[in-house]
């Protein structure tokens, strides 16, 4: 698989990472199946796994995905030193809801729980899951900077942020990654300049929901433009879309999720797929209805 730098001062990772969320939320597969999926991704060349403390069912299940990923990596027979695990803090799951809570004291407590769940002394990449409108952004970022100074995290990342927020954070700490949504259905990260800013700064842009997510993901096989190009290239429409996402900037790293081994392997295949200018333009011009 092709490699790209994760971000300033960080190692290179495979251009296709793995997002663990769907192994731990509603309709999650049995844990042993989840471990097989993670092993398949790692065997295929994935070296970046993204998780979060709130990838779980509710607040009583906090850390489920982190514990599952830690177990999978420990039991993998490959070179575990090549695997970077990124996690996030700043959200909570009361009664299964998704709510922001990026108070400094909450972030510190979440980081401590994640250290324990992952079984590590220092988290490789710790990301602010989302800005909290009730908390000054500088206070949330400041908490991550303090955790970094204490040696509890190595690199700091942001998620669901604007260019203005990235710049504000850069005044306080080196931002290594930004994780925002990017797919043909949702291109706001391109239109609002986040992808471009990350490219200028050498910041790794981690594209979540790179194939649309949910019901939009299921629309890809019947999309006429995707179907035509994918058939000609002998790849799946999902792999084609991942290749389109990667082509948007040299610092983009896609982090698709998968509940099944075959889906993980299909995503991995996109790590070697390069599209012609004509095919990229065809996807650019195509209509992707969210209905």
Distances (CA, A) of 249 to 4, 66, 253, 254, 268: 11, 29, 9, 11, 19
Nearest 5°: the CA angle 102, 62, 268 is: 95
List the beta bridge partners of residue 85.
Answer: 49
What is the full DSSP assignment across 240-265?
HHHHHHHTT-TTEEE----SSHHHHH
Report the alpha-carbon distance of residue 248 to residue 235 in Å, rounded: 19
| Burial group, residue 149, by CB count within 10 angstroms (0-12, 13-18, 19+) | exposed
- Is 18 annotated in the active site? no
Report the alpha-carbon distance of residue 164 to residue 279 in Å, rounded: 33
**245, 182 in Cβ contact below 8 A?**
yes
Angle at which helix 261-269 crosses helix 31-43, to 10 degrees, equals: 20
Report the alpha-carbon distance of residue 55 to residue 107 in Å, rounded: 16
**33, 68 in Cβ contact below 8 A?**
no
Q: Which of 18, 55, 126, 208 is catalytic?
A: 55
Catalytic positions: 55
């Amino acid at each position: 698989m092709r490699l790209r730098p994760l971000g300033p001062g960080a190692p290179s990772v495979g251009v296709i990472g793995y997002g663990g969320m769907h192994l731990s939320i509603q309709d999650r597969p049995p844990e042993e199946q989840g471990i097989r999926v993670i092993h398949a991704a790692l065997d295929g060349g994935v070296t970046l796994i993204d998780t979060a403390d709130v990838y779980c069912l509710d607040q009583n299940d906090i850390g489920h995905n982190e514990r599952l990923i830690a177990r999978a990596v420990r039991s993998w027979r490959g070179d575990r030193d090549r695997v970077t695990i990124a996690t996030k803090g700043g959200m909570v799951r009361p009664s299964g809801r998704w709510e922001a809570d990026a108070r400094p004291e909450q972030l510190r407590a979440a980081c401590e729980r994640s250290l324990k769940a992952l079984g590590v002394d220092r988290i490789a990449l710790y990301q602010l899951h989302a800005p909290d409108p009730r908390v000054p952004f500088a206070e949330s970022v400041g908490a991550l900077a303090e955790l970094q100074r204490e040696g509890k995290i190595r690199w700091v990342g942001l998620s669901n942020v604007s260019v203005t927020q990235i710049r504000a954070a850069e005044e306080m700490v080196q931002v290594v990654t930004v994780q925002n949504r990017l797919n043909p259905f949702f291109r706001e990260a391109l239109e609002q300049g986040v992808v471009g800013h990350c490219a200028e700064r050498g910041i790794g842009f981690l594209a979540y929901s790179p194939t649309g997510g949910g019901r939009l993901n299921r629309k890809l096989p019947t999309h006429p433009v995707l179907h035509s190009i994918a058939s000609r290239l002998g790849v799946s429409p999902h792999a084609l879309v991942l290749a389109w996402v990667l082509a948007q900037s040299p610092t983009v790293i896609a982090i698709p999720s998968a509940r099944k081994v075959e889906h993980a392997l299909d995503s991995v295949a996109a790590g070697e797929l390069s599209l012609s200018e004509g095919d990229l333009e065809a996807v650019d011009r195509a209509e992707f209805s969210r209905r």
